[in-house]
Amino acid sequence: MDIEKVNSMDFGEFVDVFGNVIERCPLIAAAVWSQRPFSDVEDLEKHFFAFIDALPQSGQEGILRCHPDLAGRELQRGTLTAESQREQSGAGLTSLGADERLQLAELNAQYRARFGFPFVLAARLSGRAAVPRELARRLHCPPAQELRTALGEVKKIGRLRLADLFGADPARL
């Protein structure tokens, strides 16, 4: 895919293609479409991120709540989005032992109880051992800092998903 192709997409096609750049938030792609034309993929990415940054805290928390737990029930049930499924299996979360799954479920529950949204981490950038470690560490962070960290992870996930769509190297975005 190239940027000329993106700029020529009608609304429906654009939302079909980019609707899950931010997990289960096609509204963001819908809003970004009206800002076309984009000069390149970096410019497109900037519009996604600027939308997130401009939201009030309730909206930013809403975005986090659209994310499925890592190694959670949806992974077990096979109801993840295709992107999330790929990311979670790529990180080795599909092959956890029962003990590891239980440990993560407990940490996920503690995290959600403390912050009111699920723990979000760009799974593709960390291995399965790093997930419980990061979860346990971030569980003790101040809420305002944690919201910023979690949104930073949402952006990392979005960047990787955009890079996939463009067949680009995410380091160059």
Q: Which stretch binds ligand 3AL (CB under 6 A): 4-12, 37-45, 46-54, 64-72?
A: 64-72
Q: Is 84 in the site for ligand 3AL (CB under 6 A)?
A: yes
Residues tagged active-site: 67
Instruction: Map the footprint of ligand 3AL across residues 126-165, applying CB under 6 A.
Output: 157
Q: Compare residues 6 and 120 and give the one whose CB is closer to ligand 3AL.
A: 120
Among candidate residues 79, 43, 67, the one with its CA nearest the CA of residue 173: 43
Q: Compare residues 44 and 123 and give the one whose CB is closer to ligand 3AL.
A: 123
Cβ 66 to ligand 3AL, closest distance in Å? 9
Other C-beta atoms lying within 10 Å of the C-beta of residue 80: 19
Q: Is 123 in the site for ligand 3AL (CB under 6 A)?
A: yes
Using an 8 Å Cβ cutoff, are 85 and 161 in contact?
Answer: no
Work out which of 29, 41, 63, 70 binds ligand 3AL, going by CB under 6 A. Answer: 70
Using an 8 Å Cβ cutoff, are 33 and 2 in contact?
Answer: no
Cβ 137 to ligand 3AL, closest distance in Å? 15
The CA dihedral of 64, 28, 25, 172, to the nearest 10 degrees, is: -70
Instruction: Map the footprint of ligand 3AL across residues 15-54, applying CB under 6 A.
Output: 23
CA 8 to chain CA centroid, nearest Å: 26
**Interface contacts to ligand 3AL, rule CB under 6 A:** 23, 67-70, 84, 87, 118-124, 157
